[in-house]
Amino acid sequence: MLKVNHINVAYGNLQVVWDVSLSISEGEVVAILGPNGAGKTTTLKSIIGLLPPKSGSVEFKGEDITGRPIHEMTTLGVAFVPEERNLFTAMTVHENLLMGAYTIRDKQKIRRNLEYVYSLFPRLEERRPQYAGTMSGGERQMLAIARGLMANPRLVLLDEPSMGLSPENVIVVFETIEKLRSENVTVIIVEQNVDTTLRFSDRAYVMEQGRIAMHDTSENLLKDDHVCKMYLGV
């Protein structure tokens, strides 16, 4: 579904991603792990078009999408849920979801999409009239993901979805990712919560100092000495 081919990415003259290649198949949950400053979020921003690479390319379903504007990416079926969530806190749950369907003109399709996300997240339907700013951290993250799904993406990029959440809400977020997997939605997740992420993902890439340092199945990485020592404290 997605191929990232030897991208190099920089902020001005400061290069932070070096020769990164990824390959994601349809229906997979694939993690990008690593310490702060490893280039994980920058890689996502380059895929989605917020920060086009200096060199290299990004392909989605065989089509070159390198540097496409983000509104075109939404139309193609790619959604990005940033770490900041960027919810409209003075708007209701329902209004936030409608904003996720802003590019859709077919009212029947919007209604079907609402039914779909409410079926995935019954808690959000219960809170339709609630202002986003009054919700818990886990509920806000759930809403951010649901809003991204309102445009019917087949690929969802999640940036640090468990950041700042209580352990209970972290489980809520990862259960949400499990729901996406059950719907055959492809997910790329950038995370520092290595242990939980590896238990919920199929494969993972480990980035260190802007480069891919390791790539394997999540099951194998959970047993890897380097991963256990550096990221799991074992």
Amino acid at site 211: R
Confidence at residue 105, expressed as pLDDT on a 0 to 100 scale: 87
Would you state the pLDDT for residue 142? 87
Please tell me the predicted confidence (pLDDT) of residue 129. 96
Candidates 26, 19, 27; CA nearest to 46 is: 19
Mean pLDDT for each consecutive 10-residue tract of the chain (234 residues)? 97 95 96 93 94 96 91 89 88 95 89 91 93 90 90 92 82 86 92 90 96 96 91 70
- Domains of the chain with bracketed CATH: 23-50+68-230 (3.40.50.300)
pLDDT at 96: 96
pTM of the model: 0.89
Q: What are phi and psi of 163, to 5 degrees?
A: -60, 125
Q: Count Cβ neighbours within 10 Å for each residue of 146-165 and write b for 16 or more, e otherwise.
A: bbbbbbebbbbbbbbbbbeb
The pLDDT, as a whole number, for residue 234 is 53
Nearest in space to 188 (alpha carbons), one of 74, 81, 39, 67:
81
DSSP letter, residue 66: T
Q: Is the dihedral of CA 161, 162, 166, 169 positive or negative?
A: positive
Q: Whole-angstrom Cα distance, residue 102 to residue 62?
A: 26
